[in-house]
Amino acid sequence: MRAEKSSFWHIGVIGGSGLAAGIELEEAQEIAVSSPFGAPSGPVRTGWLDGVRFTFLARHGAGHAIPPSAVNYRANIDVLKRCGVTDLVALSAIGSLREEMVPGQMVMVDQFIDRTQGRAGSFFGTGLVAHVSLADPTCPRLSGMVGAAAEAAGATVHGGGCYLAMEGPQFSTRAESRMYRAWGADVIGMTGMPEARLAREAELPYAMLGMVTDYDCWREEEAGVEVSHVLEVMHANARIARDSLRHLAASLPAERAPSPIDRALDHALITAPEARDPALVARLDAVACRLFGERG
């Protein structure tokens, strides 16, 4: 049986631990959702905002206890898919690699360079091989709506930018920062990958609203990145992020038209049916429920 997406919006949001608490959701519930890919970062908080279902997950857990390299990105995406999310908005602090992308401004990320190491980057593997297209890793439709909502909330928004995903947890050296600029990266962060990859495998349109907190250390005349300054700008941006989500809820069309990303797995599976690992297929009861049957 093939499960198609609802014609109604259900927006998943991955961001800071205080984000959902600052938004008054109707019929709000906090729910612990388990995943066959391990423990997610924490429970989800779900409810209604201006008639639209929103489900929030704190990427780093309560109190920001989980470092970027230890986030269970697979479990996080899996539990959001289990909750029935149709589209996914990521809110992330980023450093700027471009003079014109000023701290306090927002960037709708549209490309990624992945420099992370050792993170589980796919739901698929031995016994069930799949290759999704990631040429355009974010959803233009969702990104456009999120960007417009952020502008309505008073933010200065850059309509595109290439995100360099670094491993961390340390910030860049000056040599690295100059190299990333030469590669064509515009902003830098530690969590965008493999999050965007996994969202595509889960057939979830993904948009990242990057909140510029600082200039990365490529500016020779300035001191390096200090976390105290990053946190100061993050707190200032939190209000704009919450207001952006309210504007997004108010601006969404009443009916969600299908997205091509809803069917990203249509031609991605390579493994012949008789060679597929039943245990791995079972783990994908949410991620690939459209292909392998309803999740229970």
Query: Rounded CA gap, 106 and 89, in Å?
Result: 14
Task: Outline where 85-164 has alpha helix (H).
Answer: 140-152
Q: At what angle do helices 227-251 and 140-152 cross, to 10 degrees?
A: 100
Tell me the C-alpha distance between 177 and 138, whole Å: 24
Three-state SS sequence of 5-72: CCCCCEEEEEECCCCHHHCCCEEEEEECCCCCCCCCCCCEEEEEECCEEEEEEECCCCCCCCCHHHCC
Cβ proximity of 95 and 187 under 8 Å = yes
Please pick, among 87, 216, 243, 262, the residue that the annotation labels catalytic: 216
Using the CB atoms, write b or e for 250-268: b if 16+ within 10 Å. eebeeebeebebbebbeeb
Q: Is 87 a catalytic residue?
A: no
Token pair 């999050």 in the structure block, residue: 195
Q: Is 141 helix (H, G, I), strand (E, B) or coil?
A: helix
Compute the distance between CA of residue 138 and CA of residue 208 in angstroms, rounded to an integer: 8
Identify whether 285 is a catalytic site residue: no
Catalytic residue among 114, 214, 243, 262: 214
Kind and range of the H or E run holding 3: none
Active site residues: 214, 216
